[in-house]
Structure 1
Amino acid sequence: MKSLIERLRTRRLASIFVLLSTLSVAIVGGSFLAHGVRGQEKQNSSTDATPLKVSNSNLPSNEFQNVFAKIAKQVGPAVVNINTQTLPKQSANRPGRRFHGRNMPNPQAPPDGDDDQDGGQGGQGGQGGDQGQQGFQDFFNRFFGQQGPDGDDDGGGQVRESLGSGFIVDAKGYIITNNHVVDKADKIYVKLSTDPDSQDLGRPARVIGVDKATDLAVIKIDAPSALPTVKLGNSEQVQVGDWVEAIGSPFALAQTVTAGIISAKNRTIEPGASGQFQHFLQTDAAINPGNSGGPLLNMAGEVIGVNTAIYTQSAGYQGIGFAMPSNTVVDIYNDLISPSHKVVRGSIGIQFKQGLSGAVNRVYGFKNGVLVQQVQPNGPAAKAGLKPGDIITTIDGRQIKDGDDLVSEIASRRPGSSIRLGFVRDGKPQDATVTIGDRDQVFADLGNPQRNDQPEEGGNAGESKLGIMVRDVSPEMANKIKHPGVVVQSVRTGSFADLQGLEPGLVIIRINKQDTGNRDQFNAVVSKLKSGDDVVFEVVDPRHPELGINYVGGTLQ
């Protein structure tokens, strides 16, 4: 019995041992198999994969080629990078070239000029006066985001650097860009696409001429050999929806190419007189800070616009950009490279209402025309007999559609030429012959509309040394501003006076503490000035005499 029990116990232990051994073998085998699978995953075979090759389709050069790439390759060498430096000024209260600052406001175009609309209430550069204008950036010194709220920047005593674009239109080195790219710059440099990619700012450039009204400028670099150029296209032929391409240096990224379409034509983004010569092409091609002055191209590789402004609420691209049409650019360029380096526009000396109300149309029986609100005394229109309340309907027999049409027609005429003006007075059609005046001269005369129009006798010492022409103020103006002085009639672009911010219409009452109460005193003071002298002007704006005297000046070179 005992041996039976022992045998059963022995068999039970044996069975347990066999069972445990079997389980151990199974576990070890499973682990081996699992490790084997993972090893195979790490050593995936790719012997059946076919290597890739770069395709060489050998397409014909004129077929299936990306037209944007073709244009970029063709035009890119003529697009330049423009770097500017503005040196710190000694005076912390210096005005800009437009007298932005606490002590004197920006003297905008006087309110009674030909082409002024709705009382001449212009905008404030890139600021705008309402919500619709607040988003405009990069317009008249607003593109780079490096300036103060009034367009000036003292730089904290540091050299301020800015960046823009431009394009070569003459193999001798003439370049078109925006005025706000080079405005106030003490040094201008141009870098070609073929120049080495280095810290060097590029080749020195000089300003040939600028036109603030259209924000265009012409600069020049010395070219030892012929440079690549662009072709100017016809912006009048551009249609909404046409493809366009922009090339420039946004955020210092030179030779950046973007594409889009023409979104609209004839856009005016500055209201009133400030925008009367600014009728832009609108595009959704990406334009950012630094694109200013670069070309907008059609699909033939022709420049049909100069990239000038963007609408943004983030200081960057939001799909709305503006370019000055090439047809306008050509006219401005040809004037700026002329011996005077100045754009001459015609004027008849009126202030008008843009668009007639339904009541006016019904009373006078006209759907088109321009309502004269104000006529400058002694101006061209006044001499021809026009009066406030007249409705201008035709010029040389051609129907005038609106104020923009009137502006375009008269501004394109040369001073001294005559036009036949058709108008309606008290419901009766009339006409008169009007002699076109120089718009700049008309604006200068607005500060003193009652002056004697006889030409001044004698020379003007300010022209040769300072770059300005002056005349005596009238007794009425002297009484208004509480000071005798001389009125600035014209300022030569790039001259000493221009760099200090003097503009037509301002009154100079003293220079270096010496009275300039008339032209003789002015000439006597200026004739003694020499290169290296510090010259300080005491200036009053007759449109804002309540602001008192402003002091501006620099060192005569």
Structure 2
Amino acid sequence: MQGLGSGVIVSPDGYILTANHVVSGADEIMVGLGIELRKYKAKKVGTDPGTDVALLKIDEKNLPAITFADSDKARAGDIVLAIGNPFGLRQTVTMGIISAVGRGGIGIVDYENFIQTDAAINMGNSGGALVDTEGRLLGINTAIFSRTGGNQGIGFAIPASLARDVMQSLREKGRVVRGYIGASVQTLTPELADAMKFKGQPTGGLVGEVTPKSPSEKAGMKTGDVITAVNGKKISDARELRLMIGSMAPGTKVQIEVNREGQSKIVNVELAEMPAGEAEEGAETTPEENAQPEKATVFGGVAVADLTDDVRTALNLSKDIKGAVIAEIDADSPAGKAGLREGDVIQEVNKQPVRSAKDLVAISKKLKPNEKILIRVWSQGRSGFVALEPK
């Protein structure tokens, strides 16, 4: 089976940037250059699935290498050109503008900070160059949004600044080394901010869990903290935090500003190295039918039960995780609409710890009828917060 993509020569001695998904799983990689299509066998120097960047090397010298632009200065409305091999049509150039910068939350890769463009990008363009009007590299084309499989004017490119950082790490170490704080963080939504009784319109990353013995725990970070800035730079959401921390080297000392119970605090964290596989989501699991203990109903449509040994085994839960497991849930209930599902473990309600189903029932009876409910829940391998509307 053969695949086709594009690439960018980044050094005279044969280093080539492309998209990881173009070469992932390939047994052999061939590179064709020039109108006459001179063919070379390429070696895979390294790949980074987290950004969809791959670095190749061919045995050649005196190649024309591209110049990198400062992609951080790219702005919506700038004219750009997309270069590649769509459908095998070599050295195709299309023109458009930058539609947006800093695109994320798309679900393509772990570290998303895409340049969006309406320049025509089709199958075979992946890994090719997005350049400015001076021919300088602004990004590596990686994906499109399409209902037909063809260009519909929504394409995405990895910013050149991010691709260059990844390239340098792959070239020097053969892998990408990222900073790590050891905390599970989600975006603070308006609903969560309301449930946590924050004033104004706060933004940032909400800490759902602090990993034991991690840099965050050693620095004194706590569950429920909202990370608002790193080294004085404001954090709007969890994606920005992930990009910022991931771009720093292990051993870097950073000042993290957090909002804790309405008070601003500075936490000094020394970054560790991101463990292998840390960016992956936890596997989806559901409790076995024959492992269901006695149930109690809370929140108008959520049946919960104690975490027995059978349930822990079925859900692959460690002894450290305490709470009440959701055994059944009404999809039309507030909890169901908020994204809770069977197998999730409710750990806290309005910052009150839940040790058992009985605990949860007792806490739920004391809730005020017209206030949002803040729930901390273990789901898909990590802890996070969910805000429930009053039933």
1:327-355 per-residue CA deviation (whole Å, 9 max, x = no partner) reads 111111111111x2111111111122213
Q: Whose Rg is larger?
A: 1
Q: Which residue of 2 aligns with 1:221?
A: 58
User: Does the 8 Å contact 1:262/1:283 carry over to 2?
Assistant: yes
TM-score by length of 1: 0.48
**What stretches of structure 1 of length at least 5 have no aligned partner?**
1-159, 448-475, 482-542, 545-557
| Cα distance in 2 between the residues matched to 1:446 and 1:267 | 21
Q: Which residue of 2 aligns with 1:184?
A: 25
Q: Which residue of 2 aligns with 1:349?
A: 182
> What is the one-letter code of the residue matched to 1:342?
R
Check 1:441–1:166 CA distance in 2 against 1; reply closer, same or farther (3 A cut). Answer: closer
Give yes or no for the alignment of 1:429 onto 2:270.
no
- Aligned pairs for 1:160-309 (under 5 A) are 160-196=1-37, 202-223=39-60, 225-268=61-104, 270-271=106-107, 275-309=109-143
1:259-291 per-residue CA deviation (whole Å, 9 max, x = no partner) reads 1111121222534xx644111111111111111
Check 1:384–1:446 CA distance in 2 against 1; reply closer, same or farther (3 A cut). Answer: farther
Check 1:222–1:266 CA distance in 2 against 1; reply closer, same or farther (3 A cut). Answer: same
Higher RCO, Cα 8 Å, sep 6+: 1
- Aligned pairs for 1:386-401 (under 5 A) are 386-401=221-236
- Aligned pairs for 1:129-528 (under 5 A) are 160-196=1-37, 202-223=39-60, 225-268=61-104, 270-271=106-107, 275-338=109-172, 340-357=173-190, 360=193, 363-365=197-199, 367-441=202-276, 443=278
| Cα distance in 2 between the residues matched to 1:261 and 1:396 | 33
> What is the one-letter code of the residue matched to 1:238?
A
1:62-120 per-residue CA deviation (whole Å, 9 max, x = no partner) reads xxxxxxxxxxxxxxxxxxxxxxxxxxxxxxxxxxxxxxxxxxxxxxxxxxxxxxxxxxx
More helix by share: 1
| CA shift for structure 1 position 428 | 2.6
**What stretches of structure 2 of length at least 5 have no aligned partner?**
283-308, 315-379, 382-391
Check 1:445–1:238 CA distance in 2 against 1; reply closer, same or farther (3 A cut). Answer: closer
| Cα distance in 2 between the residues matched to 1:344 and 1:311 | 30
1:335-378 per-residue CA deviation (whole Å, 9 max, x = no partner) reads 1111x211111111112221332672683336233221111122
| CA shift for structure 1 position 421 | 2.2
Secondary structure in 1 matching 2:278: helix
> What is the one-letter code of the residue matched to 1:392?
I
Secondary structure in 2 matching 1:433: strand
User: Does the 8 Å contact 1:268/1:275 carry over to 2?
Assistant: no
User: Does the 8 Å contact 1:347/1:442 carry over to 2?
Assistant: no
> What is the one-letter code of the residue matched to 1:422?
E
More strand by share: 2
> What is the one-letter code of the residue matched to 1:322?
F
| Cα distance in 2 between the residues matched to 1:343 and 1:327 | 15
Name the count of aligned residue pairs.
288
User: Does the 8 Å contact 1:349/1:442 carry over to 2?
Assistant: no
> What is the one-letter code of the residue matched to 1:173?
G
Secondary structure in 1 matching 2:6: strand
Secondary structure in 2 matching 1:170: coil
| Cα distance in 1 between the residues matched to 2:54 and 2:92 | 22
Check 1:429–1:240 CA distance in 2 against 1; reply closer, same or farther (3 A cut). Answer: closer
Check 1:269–1:424 CA distance in 2 against 1; reply closer, same or farther (3 A cut). Answer: closer
User: Does the 8 Å contact 1:356/1:371 carry over to 2?
Assistant: no
| Cα distance in 2 between the residues matched to 1:445 and 1:161 | 28
| Cα distance in 2 between the residues matched to 1:250 and 1:287 | 7
1:295-348 per-residue CA deviation (whole Å, 9 max, x = no partner) reads 01111111111111011111111111111111111111111111x211111111
> What is the one-letter code of the residue matched to 1:216?
V
User: Does the 8 Å contact 1:244/1:299 carry over to 2?
Assistant: yes
Secondary structure in 1 matching 2:244: helix
Check 1:395–1:236 CA distance in 2 against 1; reply closer, same or farther (3 A cut). Answer: closer
User: Does the 8 Å contact 2:198/2:262 carry over to 1?
Assistant: yes
Q: Which residue of 2 aligns with 1:71?
A: none
Which is further off, 426-435 or 409-418? 426-435
Check 1:446–1:381 CA distance in 2 against 1; reply closer, same or farther (3 A cut). Answer: farther
> What is the one-letter code of the residue matched to 2:142?
T
> What is the one-letter code of the residue matched to 2:273?
D
Q: Which runs of at least 4 in structure 1 moved beyond 4 Å after TM superposition?
A: 444-447
Q: CA RMSD in A?
A: 2.8
Check 1:350–1:191 CA distance in 2 against 1; reply closer, same or farther (3 A cut). Answer: same
User: Does the 8 Å contact 2:188/2:226 carry over to 1?
Assistant: no
Secondary structure in 1 matching 2:22: helix
> What is the one-letter code of the residue matched to 1:419?
V
Check 1:254–1:446 CA distance in 2 against 1; reply closer, same or farther (3 A cut). Answer: closer
User: Does the 8 Å contact 2:112/2:239 carry over to 1?
Assistant: no
User: Does the 8 Å contact 1:289/1:316 carry over to 2?
Assistant: yes
| CA shift for structure 1 position 196 | 4.8
User: Does the 8 Å contact 1:245/1:297 carry over to 2?
Assistant: yes
